[in-house]
Structure 1
């Protein structure tokens, strides 16, 4: 584990590469395989993009530890929010609501409702958020997304707290 705290900027760059690869695989599943993302999947994508971009920015400037740590803290926040969203979607997949409707898409909710009303609608889930269209080793996309966000969260915290000063 020395590579995490001996070279935290390299760790941030590796997190960026992981996020880019995951986004590429998500685009493959959407555009080649034909899976349409649900509202919670869209939120997870935005969190993944935010973690990746913040990790990239934090890894670029070599001068101070404060620079990369501030961006790493922001990435921790987005990784935590992404893990929460993925966990909620996994819960909905394991225990689907009794009356599931397809509901509106993410952009339709944002365009037609204020953000204070559309965010709870996203986390309530819809019929398409409970569907499991793809699995790998018994886990759905939401399950693997939760694992990835949790790993990012832990690695970022280790890099922040254990970095050599």
Structure 2
């Protein structure tokens, strides 16, 4: 029963990340909220976390495998939280500190080295400081930060707490 619950929770984590990415696409396509490059990076990280957790649920490994999947999710979530935190900081800072315009992301990826594009994205632009949508007074990057924090806590739980006694379980023993 322990493994079935673990698989189900990893599957639910995958669904949660997919819903977050779907909500971001909805806000872009239907609500007309134009995403900035930092939004694209956060969206991509949620999609990668969704794939990792889905593969973990489908693979159903042993104790060491669950920990490796949890470690991967934790690292991706921490990177996402750092980027979302940077985005929140950019929204809170005065807009005169940022570049006025960041060129098209596709153009930058085609013409510049990846490390330079990453530096330009993380530096932010005027579009990153605009709050175009909020729910309950919380902006989209703040919601993203909460989502990454939740995924980090989920991964930490499975990395350090859930599987402490997993190796010593007696299979088939009477209750």
TM-score using structure 1 length: 0.91
Instruction: Give the count of matched residue pairs.
Output: 162
In 2, Cα distance between the equivalents of 1:43 and 1:126?
A: 14
Match of 2:170 in 1: none
Larger radius of gyration: 2
Equivalent positions of 1:89-104 (< 5 A) are 89-100=87-98, 101-104=100-103
Segments of 5+ residues of structure 2 without an aligned counterpart are: 167-175
Alpha-carbon separation, structure 1, partners of 2:107 and 2:46: 21
Give secondary structure in 2 for the equivalent of 1:7: helix
Report the 3-state secondary structure (helix = DSSP H, G, I; strand = E; otherwise coil) of the residue aligned with 1:33. Answer: coil
CA distance in 2, matches of 1:68, 1:23: 24
**Structure 1 unaligned residues grouped into runs of 5+:** none
Q: Which residue of 2 aligns with 1:82?
A: 80
Is residue 141 of structure 1 aligned with residue 140 of structure 2? yes
Partner of 2:42: 44
Structure 1 residues 130 and 7: CA distance shift in structure 2, 3 A:
same
Distance 1:140 1:131 in 2: 10
Counterpart contact for 1:38–1:105, Cα < 8 Å: no
Higher RCO (C-alpha 8 Å, min separation 6): 1
Shift of 1:46: 0.8
Given candidates 66, 69, 73, the residue that maps to 1:68 is 66
Does the C-alpha gap of structure 1 residues 34 and 57 become closer, same or farther in structure 2, counting only changes over 3 Å? same
- 1:86-135 CA-partner distances (Å, limit 9, x unpaired): 00000000003415412113222221110121111101000111110000
The offset of 1:25, in angstroms, is 0.7
TM-score by length of 2: 0.86
Partners of 2:158 and 2:132 lie apart in 1 by 35
What are the superposed Cα offsets for residues 43-102 of structure 1, whole Å, 9 maximum, x if unpaired? Answer: 001110111100110111234122232122111111111111100000000003415412
Residues 63/85 of structure 1: CA separation in 2 closer, same or farther (3 Å cut): closer
Q: What is the CA–CA distance in structure 2 between the aligned matches of 1:89 and 1:120, rounded to whole Å?
A: 14
